Structure 1
Amino acid sequence: MFAGFLAADSWKLSPGILRMYDMRPASFVHVEGFMTPDEIERDQPRVDLKAIGIGAHLCAAIPVPSGELVTIVFQRWLRDGPHDRRAVDGLDRLMPRFGRAGLMAARLGLTRANATVSALQLIGLPAAVLDRRGRVVASNALLETVGGQIMPAAFGALALPNAAANALLQHSLAQVGRPAAQRIGSIPIAAAEGYPAMVIHVLPLQGAAHDLFAGGDVVVAVTTVSASSLVPEASVLMGLFDLTPAEVKLASALTRGLSLKASADAAGVAVSTARAYLERIFAKTGVHQQSQLVALLKGAASFR
């Protein structure tokens, strides 16, 4: 049950946790002592923990040079009552060790972030690890080769010169941590002078992978597309543009040169349904006309 509590992410909105984040206590304090009775009552994560028998909380905070805040929390079963003064004093004596452990964990996360983008460079993918605010935690040298399509922005963030594509990127970053159905996984960018068409992939770090990165919440990777007369495989379309199997059938038929009606027949759906699929495909690929869609998808065939 406690693992489910951590996975739910609702604890990040806990009034108690937010209070500790603002206070940043350098030694252990009783969290409840800095909350009003009303705050304790409406602190849903705390209510959920109480339901499984967890009561008092002690907390201390350690800022680390990389910008993260390490919080150390000790909880007790309700049946054991609050932490006594002796327990608090004993934990305070261990603060130097907790501080070193927090610093090492943050440094290890940054090292892993750099290792990840370096590994992606070895297979030819420009990439960066970002936090949920869009700030770059680590990036590889290949990202500089697409500088005309991906630009640095204020406060260490990334931006796309195309306004529509940039809006999709910022929206996708804002959705990190939410259900997959609400996220945009791939963002197409049209070719520009000196740069081929490309697809930006936004890959949230989840579970154990997220725990290993210092402040990293998402990997952004770039794949390029080039002109081709081939029809891309279904797996390529699903991977690049997050198309569903039904959308892939329709898109593949259109790419073969069939009309919308013929494509609907080939996909085994009504024309009205095909039109609805087509609108969703347009939204996912960032194009507005069938001719643009066909050109983009034929370019994607180079990934086979």
Structure 2
Amino acid sequence: MADMEHPSSLVDSIYEAAVLPSLWPGVIEKVAAATGSFGGSLFTVGPNHSAVAASENCVEHLDALLKGHWSAINIRAQRVVAMAEMGFVSDEDFASPEEIAHHPIYTEFLRPRGLGWTAATHIMGAGDDIAIFSIDRRHAQGAFDRDAIAFLDTLRPHISRAVLLASKFQAQAVTGSLQGLQTVGIPAAAIDARGRVRLMNEPFSRLQSQIGAGALDQIRVADEAANRLLRRALGEADLHNGAPMSIGVRGTGDEAPFVLHLTPLRGQGRDVFSGVAFIVAIVPLTQPGLPFRLLVQRLYDFTPAEARVAENLVAGRSAAQIALLYRISQETVRTQTKSILAKTGISRQAEFVARFSSFRNVASE
């Protein structure tokens, strides 16, 4: 086994990650390296969310584990939680020799990937949240011995406190963001990756006739066309690299139309504890009938020429038609289109047209 790094040099990093969740993957890598291991992960689950942070070399394996049927038969996680030990446990503590030799999680998932051994601990977070901190070794390295487990146990109290602190810090940060938006009169809510409303400020709660939490706490917009765009955006969002998205929403009755801004919280550690993946902010259109060009120009900092091209693309005109209409070259239209896509964070022109069609519903012709 590799020489283990003295715990004191890891403790500072652990508490830093409590304040800055994006540091957790690096902390996990340091703990793994100190025990001569491959990598590891921190998995959290609560009543309405689950999330994970992992060392870079474990991300691919963890994604495969969570997306396939493997998570349902992962006896390792199930046993670690069931044991509820106040320390780290290894495969030899929670699985029989027969299970280690023949269970599909070992024979069909872990060993074909070169993995096979773990040391993990179960931690109670805030409320009903549960966290599992695990370090993984390659199969050829053999199981974690008692010295490695003892070393990890010296870190466990710090990891446990950091998990609890991180949970509280993130909840306070999200609440603070919503309250900050409230002070400037902007209705806002925090939702998870599945679109469930976790928190909302008071102005948002007053918009129930236009937007709010529907069945199973799912965020729902009364304007069906806008609601379909919102569901699609949530389903396709790239939570690590995605750009904010804006959707135009028709007014209902005496209520003014508004623009819904959906902003992903970026970073690997963004929702490891709070479960929040997006902030939804509502900006009412205080100037009814604002022309489409001016509306998108203000929202996305388009130049007048870009706003003109955007309007014509949404109207269904081709680059050739736009070039002919304004007596410019098709290359100029293509250059402006590329700039439009870059500013909106959209990669395909067809997707831009689909999304921005909603603004035609709230702008004047």
Q: TM-score, normalised by structure 2?
A: 0.59
Structure 2 stretches lacking a partner, 5+ long = 1-25, 30-54, 338-347
> Quick check: 1:232 aligned with 2:310?
no
Letter in 1 for 2:354: A
> Quick check: 1:105 aligned with 2:166?
yes
Letter in 2 for 1:284: R
Cα shift at 1:249: 3.6
Structure 2 distance, partners of 1:135, 1:142, is 18
User: Which residue pairs with 1:214 in the alignment?
Assistant: 274
> Quick check: 1:11 aligned with 2:73?
no
> Quick check: 1:39 aligned with 2:39?
no
Does the Cα contact within 8 Å between 2:295 and 2:363 map onto a contact in 1?
Answer: no
Does the Cα contact within 8 Å between 2:226 and 2:248 map onto a contact in 1?
Answer: yes
Cα shift at 1:93: 7.8
Letter in 1 for 2:309: L
Cα shift at 1:150: 0.7
- After the TM superposition, which of the residue ranges 162-171 and 72-81 deviates more from structure 2? 72-81
What is the aligned counterpart of 1:59 among 120, 131, 138? 120
User: Which residue pairs with 1:302 in the alignment?
Assistant: none
User: Which residue pairs with 2:215 in the alignment?
Assistant: 154
Cα shift at 1:170: 2.5
Task: Give the alignment of 1:166-181 within 5 angstroms.
Answer: 166-177=227-238
Task: Give the alignment of 1:244-283 within 5 angstroms.
Answer: 248-252=307-311, 263-265=322-324, 266=326, 268-269=329-330, 282-283=353-354
User: Which residue pairs with 2:261 in the alignment?
Assistant: 201
- After the TM superposition, which of the residue ranges 75-84 and 203-212 deviates more from structure 2? 75-84
Among all aligned residue pairs of Structure 1 and Structure 2, give the percentage whose two residues are the same amino acid: 22
Structure 2 distance, partners of 1:190, 1:136, is 21
Structure 1 distance, partners of 2:197, 2:169, is 17
Letter in 2 for 1:135: R
Structure 2 distance, partners of 1:82, 1:244, is 61
Letter in 2 for 1:139: M
What is the aligned counterpart of 2:205 among 116, 125, 144? 144
The aligned length equals 277
Coordinate RMSD, CA, aligned: 4.5
Q: TM-score, normalised by structure 1?
A: 0.68
> Quick check: 1:285 aligned with 2:344?
no
Structure 1 distance, partners of 2:187, 2:264, is 16
Structure 1 stretches lacking a partner, 5+ long = 300-304
Structure 2 distance, partners of 1:82, 1:63, is 26
User: Which residue pairs with 2:247 in the alignment?
Assistant: 187
Does the Cα contact within 8 Å between 2:271 and 2:277 map onto a contact in 1?
Answer: no
Structure 2 distance, partners of 1:14, 1:261, is 48
> Quick check: 1:29 aligned with 2:89?
yes
What is the aligned counterpart of 1:132 among 183, 193, 204? 193
Cα shift at 1:188: 1.9
Change (3 A) 1:262 1:38: closer
Point out which structure has higher relative CO (alpha carbons under 8 A, 6+ apart). 2
Change (3 A) 1:21 1:247: farther
Change (3 A) 1:162 1:228: closer
**Partner SS for 2:185:** coil
Cα shift at 1:111: 1.0
Structure 1 distance, partners of 2:323, 2:254, is 37
Structure 1 distance, partners of 2:234, 2:183, is 25
Cα shift at 1:114: 0.5
